Structure 1
Amino acid sequence: MTASDALAVPVDPTSRQRLAESALVYRVIDMSDDADAEGFLRADSRGFLDEDPTEKSIAEMRPGFSERRNVGVFDETAGTWPIATVNGWITPLTVPGGEIPMWAISSVTVAGTHRRRGIARNLLEGELRAASDAGLAIAGLTVSEATIYGRYGFASAVPVASVTVDTVRAGWADSARTDEGRVLFCDRETLADDLGRLHERTRTARAGQIAGWAGRWKRAAGVFESDKERASVRGVHYLDADGEVRGALAYTLSEVPDAFRSELKVRALIAETDGALRALWRFVVQHDLVVRARADLRPVDDPLPWLVADQRAVQVSVHDHGWLRILDVPAALAARTYRAPLDAVVAVDDPLGFATGTWRLTVDGGQASTVETDGPADVSLDVATLSALYVGGVSAVRLRAAGRLNASAEIAAAIDDAFRAADAPLLGIWY
């Protein structure tokens, strides 16, 4: 199933009926229609508290949105813009050992004038029913408000690290050797192309990643004229000894008041090889006249603390980022591989009904099989907890300690051994 297949998915009839009972119209946006497209994009910007987009901004955003299934909720007494928005598309989600098609959800907004009317519930449940009806086994999103999505069965499954480096203290470790490649400045268009190619080549290396899109990399590289920081965006790429681009870095510099020094903020850092990663981090840490560097959306096992001379100069804060929601338990569990054998009866509770059931999960030779059963469960958990475990970035032992997973200590440890990803999962972009 491809991304374009999402465009043919109709709006969910249950949500359409519920919203119609409140005199609200729930429909797919026609992005080929100027007025429809502009209304959706302006409502989306309003919902995220962004500035009202200019005509240039709309022209820059529109191609990317046209590749998605955009849905608006309209109140005919409130003007021509939608009072709520959502969009979805189908993207490959990297899982241990492979990929699974995922329904990605974004642009979830409800106007402040229409809160507490069940609109968000119908948007999100409608997307989940649409995804399930289209045969998708999992949905995902990134969130601006983390307290909303658990009630719909989503859970934080891909934590990431936010890193702050005191570059004056950090230094560079003598053991952190770099190879014979070169770091060179590049123009914005080249940087955007490099980021896109590198992301596509590397996204299957870590569970949790999804496919990118051209607008994402143009925005990171400062190509869009509507970007307020565009003038301060710089870019470098790393060429290995054979002249091949193996890494790219987009960043901005901002002056630290009264210090005659700057702070470097990483917009995107993608490295295909360990040598490229070390070289780009060295460029950041040793940048002239920079006293502090910041980067977000880094893997929680990023080697940066081991690349500097003083690890205390690197502050790492882990936070939620990639949220997942399983819709079809057997299909989702069969799509990934496992690191250790497992034999357990798993009972899943799903208030929305998609994933409710009891299965005997057997892992042999890295592959899983699931058979429905009426037998007593070794593990009881809700769908959000199973979704948190899915790509191997959250510990079953930790979830058991939090009361989210009902199992013996031995079973929880066995689940950890089986589900754990070799490298920490990562989602390196917002969507």
Structure 2
Amino acid sequence: MTDARSIPVDPTSLERLAGQQLTYRNIDMSLPADAEAFFRADARGFLDSEPSAEVITATTAALEARRNIGVFEVGADEGALPVATVNSWVTPLTVPGGEVDMWAISSVTVSGTHRRRGIARALLEGELRAAASAGVPIAGLTVSEATIYGRYGFASAIPAARITVDTRRAGWAATAPAGRVEYIDKETLRDHLSTLHDVARTQRSGQIAGWKLRWDRVAGLTPDHPSAASVRGVRYLDEHGAVRGVMAYKLAEIPDTFRFEMTIFHISAVTSDALTALWGFALQHDLVDRISVDLRPIDDPLPWLVSDRRGVEVVVHDHGWLRILDVPAALSARTYRAPIDVVLRVVDSLGFAEGSWRLTVDDSIARVVPEADAAVDVVLDVAALSALYVGGVSAVQLRAAGLLDATAQVAASIDDAFRAAEAPLLGIWY
């Protein structure tokens, strides 16, 4: 797998920013002053509190594994905060039938003093050119502002569900699986979160590999966790004593009620029994009237496990965004649920995926070749193709929205081929 740190800064963005008297360069995280400046600028960009020295030290170790870039005023003093930041790394992205290398992009910030100067454009286009130069066929990110990234060819491809439960109304109707649920300490919670994610992420498309700092934070083991003392963990062991599920959560009293709300930070379950057992623990917990959790798959079975599904509110929202850079490499990296033979005309204003491509699928295996002279069956923007890629968005729906030009029959055949057996999931932010 490509090490993103080996890829130099993009020369086009370097030249564009230099024209504004801005320096665009890699950050050496082994230099304490650079590392602190990058992290403080990142915190400022996301409106977080000023990080303590302890938080900076804890975070720097994770950032050392990434390609960190800052934009500085020309002649800025050593240790000066960058006016913009971005970082990236290459991670496996689970797709139907396997994995593909993805250029993960994070820490995209521009200082409020330097807005409307094209810096974000230089950063994001620079990341895409860097990824393409490294031969990585797709880029991805999670976003705080959903209106920014479509202009660069990204699309919401992995929706997520935010679930809220009124436990007294919902009740519980499922049969308890064999096995047991038990409490665990935070270190064990962290280790199970990591281990089970490594298994669970291969079971649904859309997931990426985790990292230690992510699980330290979920388990309440980092100095910046806002409610570390409240974090609790349970695990599910099957009838043979194997750990098959884990859940991190906290409890907080609902004011003046002597009743509680459970906020679930993360659930990872590698069997349906494990998920049922963990949901059962939560919904039948003493004194808990309300449960909230985010980043669940949109086909989570919870509404079918309760007595009154009107006690379960499911709100679907965008979460994982993808951007195809290499059409043949991306489309041939996954399998398909039905045969298809179509010519796709892909429009890409940045040029990476531009062209006409014949996609032929036989026995779930894809063959993708350029077809400059063939009759076109589908015309779509690269963002629409990226939305379809992991099987969580409907081509029929995109056609109805005017984002895919094809007959109804062709759009339906794309759905038959592309849709994943289970809804894609991205259970973490990055």
Q: What is the TM-score when the length of structure 1 is the normalising length?
A: 0.98
Q: 1:7 aligns with which of 5, 16, 25?
A: 5
Secondary structure of the residue aligned to 1:394 is coil
Residue identity in the other structure for 1:376: A
1:225 aligned partner:
223
The 5 A counterparts of 1:13-52 are 13-52=11-50
Report deviation, 1:178: 2.4
CA distance in 2, matches of 1:199, 1:159: 19
Secondary structure of the residue aligned to 1:200 is helix
CA distance in 1, matches of 2:320, 2:34: 30
Secondary structure of the residue aligned to 2:207 is coil
Secondary structure of the residue aligned to 2:217 is helix
Report deviation, 1:293: 0.2
The 5 A counterparts of 1:305-316 are 305-316=303-314
1:119 aligned partner:
119
CA distance in 2, matches of 1:380, 1:318: 27
1:168 aligned partner:
168
Report deviation, 1:370: 1.6
The 5 A counterparts of 1:250-329 are 250-329=248-327
2:376 aligned partner:
377
Residue identity in the other structure for 1:368: A
2:406 aligned partner:
407
The 5 A counterparts of 1:97-112 are 97-112=97-112
CA distance in 1, matches of 2:74, 2:308: 61
1:392 aligned partner:
391
Q: List per-residue Cα deviations over 1:137-177 (Å, max 9, x = no partner).
A: 0000000000000000000000010000001111111xx22
Report deviation, 1:410: 0.3
Report deviation, 1:50: 0.3
CA distance in 1, matches of 2:156, 2:106: 16
Q: List per-residue Cα deviations over 1:224-279 (Å, max 9, x = no partner).
A: 12212101111111111121111110001111111111111010100011111001
Report deviation, 1:67: 0.7
Q: 1:69 aligns with which of 59, 67, 70?
A: 67
Q: List per-residue Cα deviations over 1:72-111 (Å, max 9, x = no partner).
A: 0001477611010000000000000000000000000000
2:151 aligned partner:
151
Indicate yes or no: 2:415 matched with 1:429.
no
Indicate yes or no: 2:360 matched with 1:362.
yes
CA distance in 2, matches of 1:225, 1:119: 32
Secondary structure of the residue aligned to 2:25 is strand
CA distance in 1, matches of 2:247, 2:342: 45
| Unaligned ranges ≥5, structure 1 | none
Secondary structure of the residue aligned to 2:29 is coil
2:141 aligned partner:
141
Secondary structure of the residue aligned to 2:349 is coil
Secondary structure of the residue aligned to 1:423 is coil
Moved over 6 A (4+): none
2:58 aligned partner:
60
1:197 aligned partner:
195
**What is the RMSD of the two structures over their aligned residues, measured on CA atoms?**
0.9
2:131 aligned partner:
131
Residue identity in the other structure for 1:93: L
CA distance in 1, matches of 2:415, 2:247: 34
Pairs aligned (count): 427
| Unaligned ranges ≥5, structure 2 | none
CA distance in 2, matches of 1:255, 1:65: 36
Report deviation, 1:406: 0.1
The 5 A counterparts of 1:330-341 are 330-341=328-339
Q: List per-residue Cα deviations over 1:297-317 (Å, max 9, x = no partner).
A: 000000000111110000000
Secondary structure of the residue aligned to 2:250 is strand
CA distance in 1, matches of 2:12, 2:357: 29
CA distance in 2, matches of 1:372, 1:182: 54
Report deviation, 1:124: 0.1
Indicate yes or no: 2:429 matched with 1:417.
no
Report deviation, 1:180: 2.0
CA distance in 2, matches of 1:409, 1:211: 37
Q: List per-residue Cα deviations over 1:372-393 (Å, max 9, x = no partner).
A: 1122211000000000000000
Residue identity in the other structure for 2:56: I
1:92 aligned partner:
92
Residue identity in the other structure for 1:418: A
CA distance in 2, matches of 1:289, 1:59: 39
CA distance in 2, matches of 1:343, 1:246: 40
Q: What is the TM-score when the length of structure 2 is the normalising length?
A: 0.98
Residue identity in the other structure for 2:125: E
Seq. identity, %:
66
